[in-house]
């Protein structure tokens, strides 16, 4: 049986992390192809329902990428995303679900290498964790 | 804040309370009063908006049922200008829900005089209707409550074949917080007297209109009974939370507990905090292509249909656990008898403590989802080294 390859759904903000991912490509940074990117205007636009939907439908991890504190194009979207993610992770860990399948990271438009490194590291850690246990559940 | 003692004649606290409410109408302190009133059938009570003092005859400010959360009613009543100041008689959880809704611009306190009541607890609507059908049994429940508030022993009525709702039995907030007017029963013998506490916002007007002579300090006995009752309730609450946490070890266990959910969404409809006019679960957001279901079934060998139990409850938790005030109407609304309130209150305790937030405590506080601090939650930021 081939090695488990985690699938990551990534919500990336237009102004920083998405552009950072673009830079990773144009500067030929290598990173594993396990990530499916959803392009949003701001990390503050990520309602927790979409993170849950990705995990319940079988993603092994969710990456949310936003601008560094103070750099949000909309002033405070990333701070609000940070609270929402903290609330979601708190709820999931109380209910016995590993919150470390959800990563919130600040990656700027100039940090192509950081983007590639983050994805590489996330894939590594998800491989250690194994497949998302929700995938085995048929009654949801 | 000032207090007064309302004396009760003929051992009938309801007559005294009705008289007091009548005075609020007659002195034009308020133009209308929202208060529970006995149903013509005698099977229960319903919040009623009253202009005519004659209609106060059979109101019950401490009604032992809560068919709907008054915060929901206040949303409709105050979000525009009602043109009258409304006195709203509210249980502590209704007041806290109303305060929480002001933060989401769904209720405006400007149009209200909030009248909070010390709450002995409530019965399920259908339980009360059943017992009230037996002659005079509704009155004996009320008399039991009147006796109970003196000492704070309120929960010993299970032997009469009817128990307070679980949400009430574990409610550690049986006293209104920051109400304009509070009817205080705890520590008093309501067949003789009721304490009336008047808050800063209306105390001047109260004295001007001469509604009641305000002088005395708040009674210390009430404070003692309240702290004993809270202690007892917190102990029961923690038992319930502890059992739930023990049995909910992972999402599979949660789904086992919630396996009989029929996805009626009644918990959401009854919840005073779920105020969105267009809920995501009532939109086509997650309508899937027909072949999507087939692909899922193909991948897993089969899937439960419909597919949205887990995402529904988890999303509702994520959206409103920070503001859950624990009224437990979700429990009352559930046709499958699922422990919705227990799930929400247990999880909400963890989430609210993240931000040291108590919903409904203070209208000036901002709900955690609507604000942030720059220097918080550092563990969440940046890439790992």
| pLDDT tens-place string over residues A34-57 | 999 999 999 999 999 999 999 999
One DSSP character per residue, B160-220 reads GT----HHHHT-S--S-SS-SEEEE-TTS-TTTEEEEEE-HHHHHHHHHTT-S---PPPPH
Tell me: pLDDT of B156 over 60: no
pLDDT at B155: 66
Tell me: pLDDT of B325 over 80: yes
| Tens-digit pLDDT profile for residues B53-102 | 999 999 999 999 999 999 999 999 998 999 999 999 999 999 999 999 99
Placement of tokens 């550092």 in the chain: B378
B352 at interface of A, judged by CB pairs closer than 8 A? no
| Tens-digit pLDDT profile for residues B4-29 | 899 999 999 999 999 999 999 999 99
What's the angle, vertex CA A17, arms to CA A16 and CA A21, rounded to 5?
A: 120
Cα B123 to its chain centre, rounded Å, is: 13
| Tens-digit pLDDT profile for residues B229-274 | 999 999 999 999 999 999 999 999 999 999 999 999 999 999 999 9
Cβ-proximal residues to A18 (8 Å cutoff; 6+ apart), any chain:
A12, A37, A39, A65
Band the pLDDT of B380: cuts 50, 70, 90.
very low
Q: Report if pTM > 0.90.
A: yes
pLDDT at B385: 42
Q: Which of A91, A19, A107 is nearest to A48 (CA)?
A: A91
| Tens-digit pLDDT profile for residues B92-129 | 999 999 999 999 999 999 999 999 999 999 999 999 99
Band the pLDDT of B190: cuts 50, 70, 90.
very high
Contact assignment for B255 to A53 by CB distance below 8 Å: no
pLDDT at B120: 92
Chain A stretch 9-48, residues whose beta carbon is closer than 8 A to a beta carbon of chain B: 47-48
A94 at interface of B, judged by CB pairs closer than 8 A? yes
Of B310, B318, B382, the CB nearest to A48: B318
Tally Cβ neighbours within 10 Å of residue B245. 16
Helix axes B220-247, B137-151, angle to 10 degrees: 110
ipTM of the complex: 0.95
Tell me: pLDDT of B135 over 80: no
Exposure string of B55-77, with b = 16+ CB inside 10 Å and e = fewer, is: ebeebbbbbbbbbebbbbbbbeb
The answer to whether residues A126 and A8 touch, using CB atoms and an 8 Å cutoff, is yes
Cβ-proximal residues to B216 (8 Å cutoff; 6+ apart), any chain:
B3, B4, B5
Token output for B260? 């009989």
Q: How far is A32 from chain B (nearest CA, A)?
A: 17
């Amino acid at each position: 049986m081939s090695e488990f390859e985690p699938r990551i759904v990534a919500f990336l903000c237009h102004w920083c992390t998405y552009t950072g991912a673009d830079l990773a490509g144009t500067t030929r940074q290598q990173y594993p192809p396990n990530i499916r990117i959803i392009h949003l205007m701001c990390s503050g636009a990520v309602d927790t329902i979409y993170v849950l939907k990705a995990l319940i439908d079988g993603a092994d991890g969710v990456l949310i990428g936003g601008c560094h504190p103070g750099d949000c194009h909309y002033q405070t979207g990333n701070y609000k995303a940070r609270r929402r993610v903290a609330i979601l992770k708190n709820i999931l860990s109380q209910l016995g679900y590993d919150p470390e399948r959800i990563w919130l990271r600040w990656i700027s438009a100039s940090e192509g290498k950081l983007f590639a490194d983050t994805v590489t590291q996330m894939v590594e850690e998800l491989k250690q964790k194994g497949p998302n246990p929700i995938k085995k559940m048929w009654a949801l | 804040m000032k207090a007064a003692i309302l004396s009760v004649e003929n051992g009938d606290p309801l007559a005294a309370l009705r008289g007091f409410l009548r005075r609020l109408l007659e002195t034009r302190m308020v133009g209308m009063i929202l208060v529970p009133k006995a149903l013509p059938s005698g099977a229960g009570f319903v919040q009623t908006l009253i202009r005519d003092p004659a209609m106060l005859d059979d109101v019950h400010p401490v009604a032992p049922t809560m068919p709907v959360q008054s915060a929901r009613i206040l949303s409709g009543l105050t979000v525009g200008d009602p043109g009258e100041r409304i006195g709203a008689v509210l249980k502590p959880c209704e007041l806290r829900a109303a305060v929480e809704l002001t933060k989401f611009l769904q209720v405006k306190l400007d149009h209200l005089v909030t009248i909070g009541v010390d709450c002995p607890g409530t019965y399920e609507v259908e339980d009360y209707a059943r017992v009230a059908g037996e002659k005079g049994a509704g009155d004996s429940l009320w008399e039991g409550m009147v006796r109970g508030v003196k000492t704070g022993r309120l929960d010993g009525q299970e032997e009469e074949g009817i128990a307070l709702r679980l949400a009430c039995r574990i409610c550690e907030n049986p006293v209104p917080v920051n109400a304009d007017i509070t009817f205080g029963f705890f520590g008093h013998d309501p067949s003789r007297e009721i304490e009336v506490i008047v808050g800063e916002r209306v105390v001047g007007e109260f004295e001007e209109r001469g509604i009641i002579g305000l002088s005395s300090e708040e009674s210390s006995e009430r404070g003692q009974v309240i702290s004993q009752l809270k202690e007892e309730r917190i102990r029961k609450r923690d038992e319930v939370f502890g059992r739930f946490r023990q049995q909910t070890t992972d999402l599979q266990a949660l789904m086992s507990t919630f396996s009989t959910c029929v996805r009626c969404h009644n918990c959401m409809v009854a919840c005073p905090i779920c105020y969105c006019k267009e809920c995501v679960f009532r939109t086509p957001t997650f309508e899937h292509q027909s072949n999507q279901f087939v692909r899922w079934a193909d991948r897993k060998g089969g899937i439960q249909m419909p597919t949205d139990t887990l995402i529904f409850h988890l999303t509702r938790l994520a959206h409103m656990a920070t503001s859950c005030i624990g009224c437990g109407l979700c429990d009352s609304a559930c046709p499958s008898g699922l422990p919705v309130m227990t799930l929400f209150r247990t999880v909400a305790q963890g989430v609210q403590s993240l931000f040291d937030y108590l919903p409904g405590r203070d209208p000036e506080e901002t709900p955690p989802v609507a604000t942030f601090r720059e220097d918080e939650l550092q563990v969440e930021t940046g890439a790992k080294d």
